[in-house]
Amino acid sequence: MALREFVSLIHKSTKRDYLARVTQRDKAEVADLALKWDYDYWDGSRETGYGGYKYDGRWRKVADAMIAAYGLKPGMRILDVGSGKGFILHDFREALPGVDVAGVDISTYGIAHTMASVKPFCQVGSATSLPWPDQHFDLVISINTLHNLYIHELWRAFREIERVGKGAKYICVEAYRNEREKVNLMYWQLTCRAFHTPQEWRFVFDETGYKGDHEFIYFE
């Protein structure tokens, strides 16, 4: 298990007004909308989610870094747990022609609006019950998804990722190292259910048998 910095390549490029997130509109109301994983979350206002989640190529540098780090080759299989609209899967296919990709996401809206280039390979489903056989994928990734699960779901999701992956695994989750980062996280998040420090996340890894790589993103 290693700490990898892939999402950090782009995480700090986004400007965030933490106070506005809790003062412009009732936070509980917008969180309820976000948790439907529908239009409001993906393509509604910034108050209820991404504020329009459109492909802009930013994930290509993350895909390139993963290809280099994990020695990916054409014909290998990649699974994205929490694939959203399929942006990074699209970039994997562009960067490495011949690679096989698959995606799963709880959001029917996200899958319906997945990029045409990878939509045939993506499906609605849960991280807690992945519909693939044991040791099927050469790389399993999950970016900014698993912290949205309750603890009993989180345990199952990590075990499922271990089960379907035969090679490298990488997850990225939100975390906090101090009170300021905890407050910022609580102000900014709309869907997070697992609020953990890095030490607590590593405890989860150990308890669930997760042996892959990880990354934490912070709201500084």
Rg value, the chain, Cα: 17
Q: Residue 90 maps to which CATH number?
A: 3.40.50.150
Whether residue 2 is contained in a domain is answered as no
Task: Centre a 10 Å sphere on the Cβ of residue 8 and count the other Cβ atoms it contains.
Answer: 14
Whether residue 76 is contained in a domain is answered as yes
CB 54 within 8 A of CB 74: no
Residues 125-144, mean pLDDT to the nearest whole number: 98
Q: For the chain, what is the domain count?
A: 1
Residue ranges making up the domain that contains 202? 8-217
Global pTM reads 0.96
24-61 pLDDT, tens digit per residue, is: 889 999 999 999 999 999 999 988 999 999 999 999 99
Torsion over CA of 205, 84, 73 and 58, rounded to 10 degrees? -100
Average pLDDT value over all residues in the chain: 95
Q: What is the pLDDT of residue 43?
A: 97
Task: Centre a 10 Å sphere on the Cβ of residue 167 and count the other Cβ atoms it contains.
Answer: 16
For residue 1, pLDDT over 80 is answered with no
Alpha carbon separation from 27 to 21, 48, 174, 216 (Å, rounded): 7, 9, 19, 24
Enumerate residues 6+ apart whose C-beta is below 8 A from 43. 49, 50, 52, 53, 113
Alpha-carbon span 15 to 117, nearest angstrom: 29
Q: Which residue has the higher pLDDT, 21 or 203?
A: 203
Whether residue 3 is contained in a domain is answered as no
Whether residue 210 is contained in a domain is answered as yes
Tokens of 207: 């308890």
